[in-house]
Structure 1
Amino acid sequence: MNPTRTVETAPSTGDGPVGTALLSRDRPARPGPLAASLAFAWRALVRVRRNPQQLFDAVGFPVMTTLVFTYLFGGALAGSTREYLQHLLPGIVVLSVVMISMNTGVALNVDITKGVFDRFRSMSIWQPSVLVGSLLGDLVRYAVAATVTVLVGLALGFRPANGVGGVLVGILLVVIFAFSLAWVWTALGLAAAKPEIVMNVSGLAVFPLLFLSNIFVGPDTMPGWLQAAVGVNPITRAVTAVRHAMDGTLTAGDLTAYAITCAVLILVFGGITGVLYNRRRQA
């Protein structure tokens, strides 16, 4: 008798989208700029969930800075923490978001040093989506940090004169400013050799700007030359716009100075970022 032969059959692909894709000989369509950017934005958000440092920056850091500066300076400068908080909180919102915006450049440099960036560079996608998507994903972190800071301020006694609408406008202004400033750290992330260099250089650059601003005290009592330096500080212009949005005194001049600051940051450092990115693509 002849032994029974076993006939192996290929597994069925089914009638679903996977089976259709496997049976089709057509190449998948190349994702457009928006789809690719949103994919990288989602990747940035997933990294926040898996990175305790970024989660702390978005939630823990705003709480800590609000509590520390309110009770550290409130009694000495205004005689009352509650009274000082009305002036301080809009500035602390900007400070918190500016600090966490530095992670944009660090995360990009980590991708470069680990070789992930080279993989993205070889993909058939709209190449700037790697950068644009990361920045879009970071907008969520900025909004969360700003919201947490405002909520802590409300719990401590902050009462915005312009109500909920003024607070929402202020948070929007902060997020846009952080997006503009993030292009600085993105350019630095492309230029630096190591993530530690990005963190150290960005820290050295941002700390003088934070303290040489109107976050903690008004510039009225400062010497004339120092008032001039504080006035041209981009962080000062952002704090002024946010503070006046929350207290209901926002003027066209405030918005103009704020808009010019954001536009200059994006145009100058966005252009530098584009040049550095193209050099890496051609390397």
Structure 2
Amino acid sequence: MTVTEEAQLLTAPKAEDLAAVLLETERPPRPSALSASLTFGWRAVLKIKHVPEQLFDVTAFPIMMTLMFTYLFGGALAGSPGEYIQYLLPGITVTSVVMITMYTGVAVNTDIEKGVFDRFRTLPIWRPAPMVGYILGDLLRYVLASATIMVVGLLLGFRPGGGAVGVLLGVAVLVAFSFAFSWIWTTFGLLLRSEKSVMGVSMLVLFPLTFLSNVYVMPTTMPGWLQVFVNVNPVTKLVDAVRSLMAGGFDSGAMLWTLGYGVVFTVVFGAWTMRLYNRK
């Protein structure tokens, strides 16, 4: 190769040649809202794959809660752990799943601190896709927690009157409600400044909701003034709906309350989340 030929190869291409190449290439289609949301949901699942310790809160924590409350309070409240587990298990399933919904807000806040959201906002995608993706990825965690508790409960003597169908329907209602409930934590994840703040505020909200409910004891055993709060508590209504399905029945009133709470959480906190996300 001569020096002249080498110089010709190193010469920058002409503008019209570049334009011809670029114009010939079709622009890739914009991803749909569903496709973008599922992609971000898969991103959340991959985090679990690379950091499997995240599964401790959906395996070890539910097992510990189930064993602890069954054997600590079973004899005192129902006469025996075997009797108490029939009442407790649907409620403890709800409690365990609802409490781990707060990690959605923690994940949002962590990504904000790392600057990942700056990249997300520049992508030509449906704007709510990253937020929806967080929650879709966490649905796997909710199902795993529910399955873990069911297995432990069956080993301890839990026998659902509704059979496998009733259990599946109860878990489906619980997962659907948890999807709506998670929008509260995405809002907190955007509002608060640190991961510790999100966890602290989340526990401050979750503890009254889960313990001041019908998960562990019948509301009729509580003082009248406390029953007022317990009877309108969304966790109480959710437990009633799940408990009735697993027992082979259908509590239409509790189901309507649960559906109503789910719609309100999705509309109010979903809209608030997107407002904060667009302005942050």
Give TM-score scaled by structure 2 length: 0.90
Find the counterpart in structure 1 of residue 98 from structure 2: 98
Find the counterpart in structure 2 of residue 171 from structure 1: 171
1:9-20 pair list within 5 angstroms = none
Kindly provide the amino acid, as one letter, of the partner of residue 95 in structure 1.
Answer: T
Query: Could you say if the C-alpha distance between residues 41 and 24 of structure 1 is closer, same or farther in structure 2, counting changes exceeding 3 Å?
Result: farther
User: Which shows bigger deviation, 61-70 or 99-108?
Assistant: 61-70
Find the counterpart in structure 2 of residue 70 from structure 1: 70
Kindly provide the amino acid, as one letter, of the partner of residue 102 in structure 2.
Answer: M
Moved over 4 A (4+): none
Matches of 1:202 and 1:54, distance apart in 2:
18
Find the counterpart in structure 1 of residue 233 from structure 2: 233
Matches of 2:164 and 2:24, distance apart in 1:
54
Find the counterpart in structure 2 of residue 27 from structure 1: 27
Matches of 1:100 and 1:186, distance apart in 2:
13
Deviation of the 1:260 alpha carbon: 1.0
Answering whether residue 50 of structure 2 is matched by residue 50 of structure 1, we say: yes
1:1-283 pair list within 5 angstroms = 25-280=25-280
Deviations 1:178-234 (A, max 9, x none): 111100001000111111110111011111111100000010111211111101111
Kindly provide the amino acid, as one letter, of the partner of residue 136 in structure 1.
Answer: L
Matches of 1:257 and 1:172, distance apart in 2:
16
Give TM-score scaled by structure 1 length: 0.89
Query: Could you say if the C-alpha distance between residues 122 and 81 of structure 1 is closer, same or farther in structure 2, counting changes exceeding 3 Å?
Result: same
Deviation of the 1:147 alpha carbon: 1.1
Deviation of the 1:24 alpha carbon: 6.1
Find the counterpart in structure 2 of residue 19 from structure 1: none
Question: Do the aligned residues in 2 keep the contact of 1:49 with 1:55 (CA within 8 Å)?
Answer: no
Deviation of the 1:86 alpha carbon: 0.2
Kindly provide the amino acid, as one letter, of the partner of residue 65 in structure 2.
Answer: T
Aligned sequence identity (%): 54
For the residue of structure 2 that corresponds to 1:122, the secondary structure is coil
Unaligned runs of 5+ in 2: 10-21
Matches of 1:227 and 1:212, distance apart in 2:
9
Matches of 2:69 and 2:221, distance apart in 1:
20
Matches of 1:179 and 1:149, distance apart in 2:
19
Query: Could you say if the C-alpha distance between residues 164 and 28 of structure 1 is closer, same or farther in structure 2, counting changes exceeding 3 Å?
Result: same
Deviation of the 1:29 alpha carbon: 1.6
Unaligned runs of 5+ in 1: 10-21
Aligned length: 266
Matches of 1:264 and 1:125, distance apart in 2:
26
Kindly provide the amino acid, as one letter, of the partner of residue 222 in structure 1.
Answer: M
Kindly provide the amino acid, as one letter, of the partner of residue 77 in structure 2.
Answer: L
Question: Do the aligned residues in 2 keep the contact of 1:237 with 1:261 (CA within 8 Å)?
Answer: no
Deviations 1:77-123 (A, max 9, x none): 11100100000000010011011111000001000000011111111
Question: Do the aligned residues in 1 keep the contact of 2:240 with 2:251 (CA within 8 Å)?
Answer: no
Matches of 1:272 and 1:36, distance apart in 2:
21
Matches of 1:57 and 1:178, distance apart in 2:
16
